[in-house]
Chains A and B, each alone.
Chain A
Amino acid sequence: MFTSIKKKLRKIVFLESKPESGEVFLSQRRVFTVPSKPGLVFVVLLLMMFLAATNYSLNLGFGLTYVLGGIAVINVFYAFRNLAYLHLLPGSARSVFAGEETEFTVYLINRRAHARYAISVGFADKGHPEKFVDIAADSRIAVQLSYPTISRGLQAIPRIRLQTYFPLGLLRAWSTWLADAHALVYPQPEVNAPPLPMSGQGKKAEVPGHAGDEDFAGVRAYQPGDAMKHLAWKQIAKVDTALGGQLVTKQFSGGSGSDVMLDFSALPGNMDIELKLSRMTSWVLEADQRELTYGFRLGQTKYPAASGPEHRDACLRALALYDM
């Protein structure tokens, strides 16, 4: 209950409301300032200086205290304008497999004649790394924020917080922004998935397990989603991945010409749906890597046999959004 009140309060005070689409302008009302810890100590220091000046009747001491007070006030302006009137534009979020980190691109556009320094950009919830950026006068920069994904589907990009302590560190100016942006999260590909279900026209329907007999055609760089059993372990063992060596995957030339049909309903009925989706994902990736033509059937979604990145992405998308 307490948290819900807190949430409501934040909504009223900090205008944390619905996601906003398109370019967002950080207006005066959206930028908040609050003294930082050193700022609070600074206030205590000013008080001490005022008392000392009063006690010893130091008129210049009063002067110095007021100068420092004035500096604190001017610092509010500078901290405020370092953040306010910034334009934010959501970029695209990279589609990833569940469990990976998505990268969300944000454009910060400074249409003012002054440069902005040391603005930290990051997600508002705790525990996420922040990035510090400078934006030159009348220019724009792109910031990539990574965010872990857990499950498949459309994952909303969480609230982003921009804050700055510039120039004197006595004050924190911040603003938050909930972009109407989503990252498409594909199901996690199954590790060690069974071989592709081949249903060749020229050949007999292959029994799963025979795929391994196909001719070894060479190796290529590892791509996310490659089945573990196709990794060229011998080659990998020769290079040290820590030294920048890459994982390599074996490629097979066999099976070309044979048709692959990835059908969700063909999978055993008693299997967990998520596991089935994982297996389908893994198959899509494998088929795509082997540049096979493959058909795809998932509930109402039916794609005729095709190949190429567009086809692959359409299949993955369907898998990600299945039953959501």
Chain B
Amino acid sequence: MMKTPLFRTILSRDKADTLLLIFACAFVLLPHADHVMWWVNASCALLLTWRGWLTLSGRRLPHAMLLLPVAILMMACVFLTHRTFFGREAGVTMLVLLLTCKLLEMHAKRDLFVVIFLGFFILLTSFFYQQTILAAVLTLTGLCLLLTAQLSFHYTGVVPPLRQRLKFGATILGLAIPLTIIAFVLFPRIQGPLWGLPGDAHSARSGLSSSMSPGNISDLAQSEEIAFRVKFTQEIPAKPLLYWRGIVMDKFDGRSWSHEDRRSLYRNAEERDWISYTGQPVDQEITLEASGQNWLFALDMPASKPEIEGSSASSIIINQQMETRREQSTQERIKYQIASYPGYSLEANSSREMQAHSLHLPAGYNPRTTAFAASLRQQYQDDLQLVRAVLDYFRREAYSYTLDPPLLGTNSADEFLFDTKAGFCEHYASAFVLLMRAANIPARVVAGYQGGELNSIDGFLEIRQSNAHAWAEVWLEGKGWIRVDPTAAVAPERVERSLNYAVPRQGLAGLMNLSPDGISFFNQMRMQWSAVNNSWNQWVLNYNQSKQISLLNSLGFKKIDWAQITLLFFILTSLVLGLMALPLIRNRPRLSALDKVYFSFCRKMEKKTAARALHEGPSAYLERLRTSLPAADFENAERFLKLYASARYGKNPGPDNILIRRLKTLLAACR
């Protein structure tokens, strides 16, 4: 009978540790719930619940013969879904399932380490999907939980309460942070990738693509994701000039526009003699988010090849259509400098024949548009006048600007222009270019971004996916290619302010009806958060080998090589370690105030006559002092020691502070 409660407490301690471990693992797995298959989530939830129930009810773990078929079945499902066990998605799914199954197969301490170490690795894989500040905070929390679970298993006797163990785990983690920062800044970096990345290393990313069919951009416009951030060295140009040139779409197949690679008609491609610039250049430093595409963006009209850290100039091309692109796709955030001239003349000296490809129309589509163009042509002989007439027409007629346009059929331009009369920038640009081509004016669609939002906290102009825009370019004899934005004719505020105005905001921002221009408290907060995110991107996520070297250069370490960096790393680490080790190791017990006074008394007596032997109590010492001290001194010593003894060992010593004050006066009296 006596044994039962003892047994129960030991068991419940075991249970508590295991439950903590299960909770920590569930927390670590949680960020992956977002992107693994639904059946993985379901089976993980089921298995974890089962495990928790087994622990709570004190049942035995399932036999391997039961677990093995489950594991094999799940592995088969992974293979059927991904057709491989390798690669990012399949690998992450396998790890997630492995951790869950391993929790059900824990028999020895070794299994505990397997589970914990798997948890650590799964924390790493969550960074495949996002590396935001929130993800970092979540990871640190998961790490703290795993550490606490790990150390909980290492107590053999007394186990402190959970709160204390969590504090201990957090302390270990917190002490590791300074070392982490040093290692992050100074540990030698190797530029990845080390081996070929699996095909799915970079999942689909939102951004402009090189073709445009109705609905493309309006999908993007719903996204508040940052496309790129721009730092201007000079004043920021006026909003109506902020056309970020991206992709030129020349080819129309009746429904969608697409980019077409064409050989340059000009021989001297390097000098780009088809373009001339006027006015002052605008220098921009652009931080482009990973887009998964080759395109680079710059203000209309880029004048120089951008310089990207870590890639050669020859891998970047500015072609005849003034598109800027790199050879490889942008799989991580990159930064480049580029100069643009708002004033330019593009292919002014070429002929209508040379631009013939920009007149092509697929036969049989949009008959009404063609007829309308013909009637306009009869009215206006001059190309420029015709352009103006069309823009006037858009402005005059009841065209509306909406993100939710009605669906269009085969003759999309016809239906849009004459029936629905409601559309988004891509509809206007597309219809306008078709009208121009039908009227024998070379025209093309340009996709990019328009506008942006200035973050007043850090001074970066933020261009979001919702700033995606499509406009038109027409070629006029003697003038060259001229930018025409038919959307601006319909919804001028779209261009003058920003697209955000037209978009119903989603999520929290939509709920609070934030206007992007008003300086409200929430807006301030939003900008602050965005600025923090930007610094996070610039300093943490973009930190690489070249940044490491330039940072050290700016700190005064010129011409530093990796061996010296390593040396610096070790020196700094040892310094910090030394600083941290001191308080940990020099951790003597604190004396009570009472004992402090006593020990200073003993020191005083030691100088005078005899030292107190280690084993001697106050009364024994007093007896010895009686013989060695002069009578007058002894009286004081006696009073002191008697008071001390009664305070230390007596039944009712009274309040401490008064006692100590009295002892101190007595001590002072002992001379």
Contacts and interface: CB of A to CB of B under 8 A. Distances in A.
Are A and B bound to each other?
yes
Interface of A: 38, 41-42, 45, 48-49, 51-71, 73-75, 77-78, 80-81, 84-85, 111-114, 117-118, 120, 132-134, 137-138, 165-169
Given A57-B332, A60-B127, A69-B183, A77 B584 contact: yes
B156 A66 contact: no
Contact of B124 (A42, A49, A118, A132): A49
Interface in B185-206: 187, 189-190, 192-195, 197, 201
A167 B149 CA distance: 11
Nearest to B590: A113
Nearest to A64: B124
A63 B588 contact: no
Given A55-B193, A132-B157, A111 B588 contact: yes
Contact of A62 (B139, B184, B195): B184
22 contacts: A38-B110, A48-B121, A54-B190, A55-B197, A56-B192, A57-B193, A58-B127, A59-B541, A59-B542, A60-B540, A60-B541, A61-B127, A66-B180, A69-B179, A70-B175, A73-B176, A78-B172, A113-B590, A118-B157, A133-B157, A166-B151, A169-B153
B63 interface: no
A16 to B, nearest CB: 24
A85 to B, nearest CB: 8
B127 A132 contact: no
Give the top 3 A-B pairs by smallest Cβ distance, nearest first: A70-B176, A70-B179, A132-B156
B268 interface: no
Contacts of B135: 60
Given A51-B194, A56-B193, A167 B172 contact: yes
B379 interface: no
A210 to B, nearest CB: 49
Contact of B121 (A45, A62, A133, A167): A45
B117 A81 contact: no
Contacts of A77: 175, 580-581, 584-585
B173 A67 contact: yes
Given A58-B124, A73-B179, A66 B184 contact: yes
B447 interface: no
A81 B584 contact: yes
Contact of A113 (B150, B190, B194, B589): B589
B499 interface: no
Contacts of B577: 73
Contact of B587 (A52, A112, A168): A112
Interface string B139-183: 110010001001101111110000000001000110111111001
A112 B139 CA distance: 34
A26 to B, nearest CB: 12
B156 A118 contact: yes
A61 B568 CA distance: 22
A117 B358 CA distance: 80
Nearest to B542: A59
B414 to A, nearest CB: 48
Interface string B279-308: 000000000000000000000000000000
A94 to B, nearest CB: 24
